[in-house]
Structure 1
Amino acid sequence: MCQEGLSRLALNSCSKQTECSLEERRMLGVAPELVDSMLESRRHPGSSLQKEFPQNEDLAKGSEPQNRLFGEVECMAQRLQAALEEIQRRAEEPQEQGEEQRKLDIALENARLEIEKLKTNLIKLKESDATDLLRSAREHNQRLNQEILALRNRVRSLDSEKKVLGEMILTSGEKVNGQHQGEVQQLRQNLHRLQILCNSAEKELRYERGRSSDFKQHNSLLQEENIKIKMELKQAQEKLLDNAREQSSLTAEWKHCQQRVKELELEGLRQAQSIKSQQNLQEKLAQEKSKAADAQEKILDLQKKLDHARQTCLSDACILHKKQLEDEIKEAKSSEYRLQQQCQEEQQRRVLLDQEINELQRQVRTLQDKEDQQEATNFQQQEALRRQLENERRKYEESVKSNQELSEKLSRSQQEKEALWKEHGRFLEQLGEHVRNYKDKHHCHKAKFQKVKDRLTHELEVRNKRIKELEDETRKLEQKIEMEKTFQGQIMTQNDILLLEKRKLLEQVTNQEDLICRNKSTISAIQSKAFLLDKENQQLQENCLRLKQHISLLERVIRSIHIRRAEETVISDNAAFEIFRKILPLQSSSFSGTGLVLSVENLQETELRKSEGAAAIPKSPEPLSCSQNSESGYINVTSLKDTYNTQGDQKPGL
């Protein structure tokens, strides 16, 4: 804001100084303003280049000696112009005046064309700068909006995770009241951590919103600056139109002055016919005209060379041309010094001539005193001529004084111009620094966003790897669940077989009541074994229920794994991954199928024993076969009981 205030003050001071300089120019004479317009028209291309390339400090440093050279050339041109004005007042030939008028008209047209070009260049440059700033600000705002949307989606996903975890806790609390308190605590810890993550994400959202509001304010300030620049452009255009109007009025005044000069020249010719001494002066004036024409040609050559030097300053061979120009300017200075000396000598001669004229007038007075009676009429004519000459001398002295005042005003206006140019250069430097700072900040923001993108991509890769690992673990768990299901099917088939055997045994018992009476001891043993088998069947049923509960738990774990897999695509914190890593190995270890594999192996061993027993005693009676079957069933039940006891020991680990 301080820089904006300084820039506004600088612009206001520049506008005030320009208005003062314009008012002073209105009071100046005709010829000096034409020279100023020509020099300004030749200066403007350099200023347009400075506006187009404000960051080329080397070119700006190289243009400082050129500006000095231009100032020296302006001084030379002013001095030569003063000499030209004196020559024009005493000129005789109207053709030379017509040529000078044509040259001045051409110079005015060139100045107008250059002013129009400068207008177009200024408008294009300011519009391009404003559009570039607005585009960059809009792109930055779009990126910030995208990031804010991503953060909002992240917060929503975290809220959904909160809800899912709360539902999981409720369901787990309803189903498992006392057994899974450890899991509930872990889930609460996960919830607490997720709440912390949500709070951090909300803080990030607030920070990003604050940044977006700051950027919006910055964009509004840029738009206000753009509007101010447009207003300043309009003011500059109005000032240029005023300058054009002033130039037109000055041209009209110049023509009027030329007419007056012509009238004065006619009167001078009349006076030259009456005075013989003025013939020598006219010859000297002709010589001075030739010298002035030569000086004008030299000035034009120097201006052409300076224009050529300006064009070549932008190239690599700028130094050589500068040296050549400096040498030429030194020569021009020496020639100017010579011309000044010649002008001084001519002024001294004019003073001597004026003194001679005064002496002649005194002699005429003495002659008039002696010849009053004889030449009264001649004396009256001489008095009239003398009055005219005195009036002309007064006019000449007044014109000299006015020229001196105008030259002083011109020097002041040139000093003010130089001060304005310096302030303009400082303002351009401030603008360049402001643009550089803005670009540096923009690059820093880009680097930060790139770092965040890299970190997120790395986290996504880690998540994808973890998801693949979890998918592999789920496949293994599914395979184990299928094995358990097959094992349950085998157990159920064995239970059906045992029930069928029990029925057969009961039928055999009913059919062989007679044999029971004989063999009470065997029947009592069989009854005891049947009682044991009933108990073992009850135990088997209880174990089946436990297995079903175990399978339901496994299904819940698989569902939770699927849910968490979907959630892990949104979670960006590594702490959540560590929590799931802690949870999953415990579950995988708690639900291992080692006991089931052992039970399958025990069943295979019992079947082998059955086959061996059947081969060893093929001719045993029916009671013995029943006892063997009951014993084999008892062995199977005991093996299953051992496996389930091992699994029951593993359950508290959950």
Structure 2
Amino acid sequence: MKDQETIKVQDFNEILKMGQENIKVLESDLSEEREKRQHLTSAFTAIQKSLQVNSEEFQKSKSELLCLYKEIQSLPRAEGREQFLVAYNLLLRENSELEAKVSKLAQELELLKHCSVGDRTANLMTSENACEDLVSKGPLLEVEAVSPSEDRQALCSELGESKQEETPDESVKAATFPRERQESQQMRGHEQPLAVEPKEVGRLEEEASLQSQSCGDSSDDSSTKYLTSGEKTSCQHQGELRELRQNLRRLQILCNSAEKELRYERGRSLDLKQHNSLLQEENIKIKIELKQAQEKLLENARLHSSLTAEWKHCQQKVKELELEGLRQTQSLKSQQGLQEKLAREKSKAAEAQEKILDLQQKLDHGRQVCLSDVCIFRKKQLEEEIKEAKSIEARLQQQCQEEQQRRILLDQDINELQTQVRALQDKEEQQEAVNSQQQEALRKQLERERRKCEEYFKSNQELSEKLSSLQQEKEALWQEHGRFLEQLGDHVRNYKDKHHCHKAKLQKVKDRLTHELEIRNKRIKELEDETGKLQQKIEMEKVFQGQIIAQNDILLLEKRKLLEQVTDQEELICSSKCTISAFQSKASLLDKENQQLQENCLRLMQQIGLLEQIIRSIQIRREEETVITDNAAFEILKKILPLQNSSFSGTGFILSAENLQETELHKWEGAAAIPKSPEPLSRSQDSESGYINVTSLKETHNTQGDQKPEL
């Protein structure tokens, strides 16, 4: 018998060592997960910095676009302005789309940060609390395991002294010990980590040896009292062993749930890493798109500057050509008048050389006529120029009324026109001075015409040569004008090609966004399917609770039958009053536990109602809101479930450990004072029913723990 008990103690020590090793592994896993959480926080900070940089780049691009818009408004022509406005609107659309993408990414990062940090901290706290509970309950379970071995030693010593009842006692032992060995082997296969330091293990072993010695000494004195109740005490010890096995199973269930939570956290950390990698890729894509947009802005700015320079150059050339055309027309008109005058004078000179006096009179009359004709011609030219200037001023006034935004540019144009008018006035004064000089020269020439007819012919030839040279220059200018128009056409074609390329890129972006929307809709459908599965699981849990209640009723009936058998054996119960007092204390504690467990059941039912309300609110909000509200609702569910489960498991096991300690104290107190009332029977009945409720509630807790990683 002693050898068997030593073997059991050694097995129990091996179990404790295995539990310590498992706890060390769990602590290493916790440290690794903390390091992963630190890496994730650093990655979140890096992503936030990149988003800030992107926002600064967006602000710069906005400022550049505003500058371009101001320059476009400063353009005087409507056609060029419309082209640039189209380009500006396209760039604004691109910037708005990029800003929307950046805002969505920032929101997703903030949500991920809150979810990951909150959920991971809650899960880690629950796992740490579970480990601490296991560490604190290790010595209590060791004491519970040692106490039945001590009781067995006492019984063996008593049975060795009592030779009269050797045969029934030995048969009972032979029936019980093989069962105990099998149960110990099963416990080895199903055990989970318990934490006890090696110093505490040694101390507990010493206490167990001392207690065994004290029990051996006391057994010599009390052997005569418990010879008749040997079988009953063995049954009681078997019941206590069953309780210990059930406690170990509960611990196994808790440890399994903790391991499942750790696995779930690991998978979630991997998912977060993948999501972070995807976010980084999206940030890289956004940066590339920003660079492309900036390059497009620079190209548009360059095109704008080149087109404005070419436009100004063309305006200057057009003005010069107009001035040259006016000069040429004036010179042609003056030459034609001079040729006509020369022909008349030649005819007059050939016809009558004798009529000098008449000619002199006619010359005087011709001078007056020429002066009057020249003055009239100049007046007409001046009137036409004044009309043109008035028409230009009227057009400018209309443009000022139509386009209030161009006031600054129109003022500049008006100033330029005023300078042109002043220049024209200066030119008119110069022309008048030139005309006066020409008139004086004509007078002198008319006086010298008689003598210098040949010189006039030569001068006419020179003038014709000049006219031909001027016509050639005019043709060359027209050719240059045509080339310039061709260059403008090429520029316009290039701009249209770029515009088409830009439209194609926008189409690609739209297609990609539609694809993302389809993926998100699929995800919403998957989440709805998951909610349906959760509702089915809740219904299954309700059915399971009904089955447990039915089983409890059946067990209560069986207990009543057992109570009827116990009434027949009340004479034997008087000899075992110590054990009855212990059961009374246990019954009182188990009643308290039953009350607490009933309160917990009510809380769980309230929580189930809250979960159903939350699921209904989620279904209603999904029809109205986007994916962001869905993520927030699931986060609320995830936060509610682990906290409530952890609070439930911790309180139940602390109470069970305290109850076991108090039962041992009541055993020693029961030896001194033994009550005579028959209340223990009802209390034992309540205790057993409460114990069954504990197991059922623990099984429901395990089902909830299995559901939690599926969420």
Is the structural similarity TM-score above 0.5? no
Please, what TM-score do these two structures have when normalized by structure 2? Answer: 0.38
Please, what TM-score do these two structures have when normalized by structure 1? Answer: 0.41
